[in-house]
Structure 1
Amino acid sequence: MKKLVILLTTILISTAAFSQAKKESVHIYNPQANAKADIAAAVAKASKENKHVLLQVGGNWCSWCIAFHNLIDSTATLKKYINDNFETVLVNYSPENKNESVLAGLGYPQRFGFPVFVILDGKGKVLHIENSSYLETEEVGANGKKKVGHDVKKITSFLKGWTRAAVDPETYKAK
């Protein structure tokens, strides 16, 4: 009986310790945000600043979405390039708020999975929807398996193709 009490006590203490050690939830995306209003504000600002809008659609439940966000945050050159050329909006997609009407108006980008990226011009017109799987790294880890994550060069190449200057016909006229 004494062994049983010790075992049960150990299990209870272990369970309590593990529940205390759980990671705090990630809160990159805001399920309560008004995506329509946020996008409209970004479009207005982009128009004034000669930029495009970069929408990152995903959710706090999505490990790939969080990994992408963290990669941008930790890569200074990439973060600067985005800030210099785009107004950004994180559009939530989760059980609490799927933003169905907003995504319908954007051409259902969720059909590509998450995260998915949408480029809008300064008038709010969808220019491009990017499937994030095309931006994944091809690196192989020491275990021989493909690493999980996105490739900075692929992301940069994608973004360079959708800046305001890149899609402006004047950029390509002979001078």
Structure 2
Amino acid sequence: MSLINTEVKPFKAQAYHNGKFVEVTNETLKGKWSVFVFYPADFTFVCPTELGDLADNYAEFQGLGVEIYGVSTDTHFTHKAWHDTSDTIGKVQYPLVADPTLAISRNFEVLIEEEGLAYRGTFVINPEGLIKIIEVHDNGIGRDAKELLRKVKAAQYVASHPGEVCPAKWTPGAETLKPSLDLVGKI
């Protein structure tokens, strides 16, 4: 069964955010768009390139009313240490969520049980707490923040324009489709 259109399962976790330890829960997500970006571990190789790319595009996500949450099975203390020692991670202004119990990674079905690490999972969550987009990569394959931005914009467009859908490579301002019997076989 897919997690698409399911509600985020209850969780409570510590996060490192803007120089403080803060609590993040499933209720924290309600009322705004959220993106969960699971990654294997702090102090690794592909992970800082992805988190840095998200940091470089964070203002645009914020402009869309979207909060990003980086999530790994590390502790919030490890997140702070990485933030304090890495120039790339030092740019991160979004919460880095700790999942040392593996519960959140397990709930989102990205946990590699035998390693205690998460796959590179990206989840876009609507203001009602429903998962609208899922993308999971093997850990050797990095993600692109610009493509994630495009997908978030498409999800927001579809949510605010019932009866319309976004075709491949859709960008804001481009034509959408209105599924109907008349459209069948015309594309």
Change over 3 Å in CA distance of 1:105–1:114 after alignment to 2 = closer
5+ unaligned residues in a row in structure 1: which ranges?
1-31, 137-148
CA distance in 2 between counterparts of 1:105 and 1:152 reads: 24
RMSD over aligned Cα, in angstroms?
3.5
CA distance 1:131–1:38, change in 2 (3 Å): same
Instruction: Determine helix, strand or coil for the equivalent of 1:170.
Output: coil
Q: Contact between 1:61 and 1:94, CA under 8 Å: does it hold in 2?
A: no
Identity %: 9
What is the total number of aligned residue pairs between the two structures? 118
The amino acid that maps onto 1:68 is: E
Q: Which runs of 4+ in 1 moved over 6 A?
A: none
Match of 1:170 in 2: 162
The equivalent of 1:26 in structure 2 is none
User: How much has 1:53 moved relative to structure 2?
Assistant: 0.9
- In the superposition, relative to structure 1, how do residues 126 and 68 fare at CA in structure 2: closer, same or farther (>3 Å)? same
Equivalent in the alignment of 1:63: 45
Q: Which has the larger radius of gyration?
A: 1
TM-score, structure 1 normalization: 0.50
1:91 to 66, 71, 90: 71
Q: Is the 8 A contact 2:102 2:111 kept in 1?
A: no
Find the counterpart in structure 1 of residue 181 from structure 2. Answer: none
Candidates 35, 42, 46, aligned match of 1:54: 35
Q: Does the CA-based 8 Å contact 1:118-1:128 persist in structure 2?
A: yes
CA contact (8 A) 2:36 2:123 kept: yes
Change (3 A) 1:154 1:105: same
Instruction: Return the alpha-carbon distance in structure 2 between the equivalents of residues 171 and 98 of structure 1.
Output: 42
Whichever residue aligns with residue 159 of structure 1, its letter is: V
Instruction: Read off the aligned partner of 1:109 and give its amino acid letter.
Output: V
CA distance in 1, matches of 2:124, 2:145: 18
Point out the structure with the larger strand share.
2
What TM-score do you get using the length of structure 2 for normalisation?
0.48
Q: Measured at CA, do residues 120 and 93 of structure 1 come closer, stay the same or move farther in structure 2, by a change above 3 Å?
A: same
Corresponding position of 1:15: none
The structure whose residues are more often helix, as a share, is 1
Task: Show structure 2 runs of 5+ residues with no match.
Answer: 1-12, 17-22, 79-98, 113-117, 166-177, 179-187
